[in-house]
């Protein structure tokens, strides 16, 4: 069998030693690089390819000499509409329509409910839930302005001034208040669109909830407030008529099912 090693010159020992040292020594730079990349340093790392990692820029809340107001962060451009947030239904989104009055335009609050709001028992139940969450603390469960926040604030204002720490409080509105025979905040005096607008933007010391309550839920609150006012201010004749209508409905349903009363 032919063995080529028999015909190749055998390298001397010192050459073999140098080759081994060279191979082992080549590992030192690799080890140093690995150690450098895995440890923390006070100075920035060596960045051979900058790409867009490092570039001149202004960070949030920084000052800028470029703009007149000295701010790096720019405000929204007036009139800009975000994608998917086009409010083309002003009655539903704003609670009013814009009508021309001479040379100017004026908002006119809608009196009913917008077409986009479907009022049913689930809609009213949603309104009750949102009312109990956002409105009850000040206006109370039945809307008489006797919520726990209003009660506590009234106690502080009318009590010992040394304990109130200068608290100033405007009593919460009584949604069932009657003036001159009419509800002060009733639908015939206070249109639904105006009530929706107050929920959205607030009024006097009341903060607006437009940022926290979706548009549809705000209309649900309006519908629930109207139902609440009706329940608290219905006359005896109205209650009797409703009871009679409910009784007739139940009788009709029973007849359809073939149920007879003895």
Cβ-contact 221, 227 below 8 angstroms: no
Q: Does a structural domain hold residue 228? A: yes
Cβ-contact 187, 197 below 8 angstroms: no
Per the listing, tokens 């962060």 go with 73
Q: Does a structural domain hold residue 166? A: yes
Considering the entire predicted model, what is its pTM? 0.61
Structure tokens, 18: 């140098």
Q: Does a structural domain hold residue 214? A: yes
At CB < 8 A and 24+ separation, what contacts does 123-126 make?
A: 123/220, 123/223, 124/220, 124/223, 124/224, 124/227, 126/217, 126/220
128-145 pLDDT tens trace: 999 999 999 999 999 999
Domain residues for the domain of 213 are: 121-250
* CA dihedral over 127, 129, 135, 139, signed as positive or negative: positive
Residue 104, SS3 per DSSP: strand
198-216 pLDDT tens trace: 999 999 888 999 999 999 9
Q: Does a structural domain hold residue 107? A: no
Q: Does a structural domain hold residue 3? A: no
> What per-residue confidence (pLDDT) applies to 105?
84
Specify the CATH number for the domain of residue 149.
1.10.760.10
Low-confidence ranges of the chain (pLDDT < 70): 1-2, 4-8, 161-166, 235-262
When divided into structural domains, the chain yields a total of 1
Spatial separation of the C-alpha atoms in residues 30 and 153, rounded to whole Å: 72
Q: Does a structural domain hold residue 113? A: no
> What per-residue confidence (pLDDT) applies to 237?
47
> What per-residue confidence (pLDDT) applies to 5?
66
Q: Does a structural domain hold residue 88? A: no
Q: Does a structural domain hold residue 62? A: no
């Amino acid at each position: 069998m032919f063995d080529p090693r028999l015909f190749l010159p055998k390298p001397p020992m010192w050459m073999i030693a140098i080759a081994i040292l060279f191979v082992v020594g080549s590992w030192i730079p690799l080890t140093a690089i690995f150690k450098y990349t895995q440890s923390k340093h006070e100075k920035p790392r060596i960045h051979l390819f900058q790409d867009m990692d490092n570039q001149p820029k202004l960070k949030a809340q920084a000052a800028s000499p470029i703009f007149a107001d000295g701010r790096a962060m720019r405000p929204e451009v007036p009139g800009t509409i975000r994608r998917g947030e086009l409010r083309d239904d002003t009655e539903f989104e704003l609670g009013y329509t814009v009508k021309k009055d001479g040379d100017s335009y004026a908002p006119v609050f809608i009196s009913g409910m917008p077409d986009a709001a479907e009022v049913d028992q689930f809609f009213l139940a949603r309104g009750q839930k949102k009312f109990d969450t956002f409105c009850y603390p000040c206006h109370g469960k039945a809307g008489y302005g006797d919520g726990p926040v209003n009660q506590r604030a009234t106690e502080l204002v009318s009590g010992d001034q040394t304990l109130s720490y200068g608290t100033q409080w405007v009593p919460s509105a009584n949604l069932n208040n009657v003036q001159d025979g009419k509800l002060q905040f009733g639908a015939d005096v206070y249109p639904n669109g105006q009530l929706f607008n107050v929920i959205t933007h607030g009024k006097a010391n009341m903060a607006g909830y437009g940022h926290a309550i979706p548009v549809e839920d705000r209309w649900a609150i309006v519908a629930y407030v109207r139902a609440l006012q009706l329940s608290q201010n219905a006359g005896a004749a109205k209650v009797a008529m409703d009871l009679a209508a409910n009784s007739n409905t139940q009788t009709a349903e029973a007849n359809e099912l073939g149920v007879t009363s003895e």
